[in-house]
Structure 1
Amino acid sequence: MRARSLCCFAAMVAFMVGACSADEDSSVPGPIEPGATSSPDDQPSRDQPPQDEPTPEPEPEPTLPNGATSIFPEHRLVGFSGGRSPAFGRLDAEDLDGAAAELDEIIPDYEVDGRTVLPVYELIAIIAHPSPTASGLYRTVEPDEVIRDYLEAAREHEALLLLNVQPGRSGFLDDVQLLEEWLREPDVGLALDPEWAVGDGEVPGQTYGSTTGSELDSVAEYVSALVAEENLPEKVIVFHQVHESVVEDEDDLGEHPGVEIVKSVDGIGARADKEATWDRVIATMPEHVRAGFKLFFEEDTRHGPLMTPEQVLALEPLPEYVLYE
């Protein structure tokens, strides 16, 4: 696993080195025809109350891409992860349309049990680094134009956008608050990656990161408040977990209105190894948290064939989010 992290970071290092219109209606009366007369009855009375303005149409309620306002149990989430570096996954910035077409081919295999798949684009929006970076926090934040491009691509394909946070030496809540502008959108959620959350004196990729249930809970509480404030549909918060040690005191992660929390098990290897990791990591999942499962096109297939959708859907508990990298 440590070799995977260092390999991923080698790729990261390479990557880093309205005017008004003349056609508007006017209230000025037109000229009077020659010879025409006007009577007092033709003139508006100063005592006459003004006519009521037409009642404006109410703004439509914000919804998910398919018009729904809730996620589970009607839907299953299936998505690709990625970013500006090809090392980040299938969701390569240079070929978002190609990734969408590939994802479309996979989706029907995850609808065999009657669930409707809601596609997901998981963008690595805050990227951990093995060097201090300008902030000294060993992470960088993707520019607004990058996030905007991915959001536009997601909307074109009626997908959710999840912003993945690798905080380095920063804190999850601090970094999530940097993304508030985007989280106020109805189709944007979060993915938290504690493997890349390290303390002072530690370096991402050299030290296995971790978080706590309490820290995850603070993020969920913050997002829940945004949902209420903006009257938004339900939001997803995924936290990725590759090993039991990555999240401590998981029971401190509570339920919050308007937020669906998913625990994604990120084990790598052959099917038997991934299922063994699944059994260990999923055992500590709180009852109100949904199960998720991650597949790796390259790392998994070095050890055997990639697990099929049928094999993924045979896991217990049933995965509600399936992510491909």
Structure 2
Amino acid sequence: MSQPVTRRVAVALLAAAVAGCGSEPGPPAAGPTSAPPPSAGPTAAPSTAPPAPPPAASELPLGGRRIFPAYRVVAYYGTAGNPALGVLGESSPEGILPRLRGAARGYGAGGRPVQVAYELIATVAQASPGKDGRYRRTIDLARIRQYVEAARRHRLLVVLDVQPGRSDFLTEVAKLRPFLEQPHVGLALDPEWRMAAGQVPGRTIGRVSAAEVNLVSAYVAGIVRERGLPEKLFVLHQFRASMIPDITRVQARPGLAMVQHVDGFGTRAEKDATFGRLRRPGQFHIGYKLFYDEDVRMYTPREVLAFRPSPEYVSYQ
């Protein structure tokens, strides 16, 4: 889908300058880039992360152990304290909840229960390299814990979104393990921000191989199995085929609800073209993103539910 370059670059610069965060991407690279090899291995989880829940915590917030087809998930996307990166950052976890529940209300047609969720960018791509040259930053673990605990109190799901910069997904996801050991916390990978050597977030649209995705999904499925947890969301963001060029090789995993989340803003015609070109309902549950500011005539819940296939995971940015 065509993306307004000036808008996306401006937001990236604002986020980097004000909050130390990466943001909307800039223009695409001249051609596909090869992903750098994974680093030596996942780093140990920080000791300040919250303790893992007891193994008996074996149900989803609204009951049961399977997300789909039991529920339709509606999420607000963003990061803590930074509205430039999405609606979730416009208020505290409790403060944004009434607005999130209002947005989700229209998705309950047909009697399918709606499960609301926070999709929190936990690892944010950066416009500058940082001390280790990886162009990414994990937000304060206390801020992640704030969302995870609020979600537990209010019976929400949490999806931790990872933008790895020049790191690799498995290294960054391993840092979040104590949160992923909780029954209501899932994961999203954002290949747009997976940079190869020499690439900078906000200047290039990134990509990830199916092999790297499969390493991460195996890791998360292992947590589900070891802890006896209910099914977890495992979300792959995509608005260009080049972001996951060998997507057909992405493997299904027991214990994971695998979602292909079709992103991209613009006119309805542009969004329809992207949805029609990328969706793979035979391989994934289908997700869809709506943009409050960038979409032209943003689709209503009733219109989204009329898509074929009907998205099972809908997020707002």
Tell me the TM-score normalized by structure 1.
0.82
Which is further off, 1-10 or 222-231? 1-10
User: Structure 1 stretches of 5 or more lacking a match?
Assistant: 18-57
Question: Quick one: structure 1 residues 195 and 4, their matched pair in 2 at CA, closer, same or farther if it must change by over 3 Å?
Answer: farther
Instruction: Tell me by how many angstroms 1:106 deviates.
Output: 2.1
What is the deviation of 1:89?
A: 1.1
Question: 1:155 deviation in Å?
Answer: 1.9
> Distance between the aligned counterparts of 1:7 and 1:123, measured in 2?
22
Question: For the residues of structure 1 that align with 2:102 and 2:281, how far apart are their CA atoms?
Answer: 33
Q: In 1, distance between residues paired with 2:222 and 2:262?
A: 27
TM-superposed deviation, 1:68:
1.6
Tell me the equivalent position of 2:127: 130
Aligned to 1:34: none
User: Identity percentage over the alignment?
Assistant: 41
Matched, 1:16 2:10: no
- Given the superposition, is the C-alpha separation of residues 309 and 138 from structure 1 closer, same or farther in structure 2, using an over 3 Å criterion? same
Q: Quick one: higher RCO (CA 8 Å, sep 6+), 1 or 2? A: 2
Is the aligned partner of 1:113 residue 2:110? yes
User: 1:256, CA displacement in angstroms?
Assistant: 0.9
Which of residues 50, 59, 62 is equivalent to 2:58?
Answer: 62
The offset of 1:95, in angstroms, is 3.2
Q: In structure 1, how many angstroms separate the alpha carbons of the residues matched to 2:93 and 2:182? A: 21
**Deviation of 1:61 (Å):** 4.4
Deviations 1:231-273 (A, max 9, x none): 0000011111011111111111111110111011112112222
Structure 1 residues 85 and 61: alpha-carbon distance in aligned structure 2, compared to 1, 3 A threshold: closer
Aligned residues: 280
1:69 aligned partner, one-letter code: R
Asked if structure 2 preserves the Cα contact closer than 8 Å seen for 1:6 and 1:205, the reply is yes
Contact 1:267 / 1:278 at 8 angstroms: preserved in 2?
no
Q: Which has the larger radius of gyration?
A: 1
C-alpha RMSD over aligned residues: 1.7
| TM-score under structure 2 length normalisation | 0.84
**Does structure 2 conserve the Cα–Cα contact (< 8 Å) formed by 1:139 and 1:167?**
yes
Give 1:299's aligned residue: 294
Query: For 1:61 and 1:154, how far apart are their aligned partners in 2?
Result: 14
Structure 1 letter corresponding to 2:71: H
Contact between 2:78 and 2:121, CA under 8 Å: does it hold in 1? yes
Structure 1 residue 3 corresponds to structure 2 residue 6: yes
Asked whether 1:205 is paired with 2:202, we answer yes
Partner of 1:74: 70
Give SS of 2:88's match.
coil
Counterparts of residues 1-325 of structure 1 (less than 5 Å): 1=3, 2-13=5-16, 14-16=18-20, 60-83=56-79, 84-92=81-89, 94-282=91-279, 285=280, 287-300=282-295, 303=296, 305-325=297-317
Going from structure 1 to structure 2, the CA distance change for 1:235 and 1:273 (only over 3 Å counts) comes to same
Q: Which moved more, 1:87-96 or 1:146-155?
A: 87-96
Contact 1:212 1:248 in 2 (8 A): yes
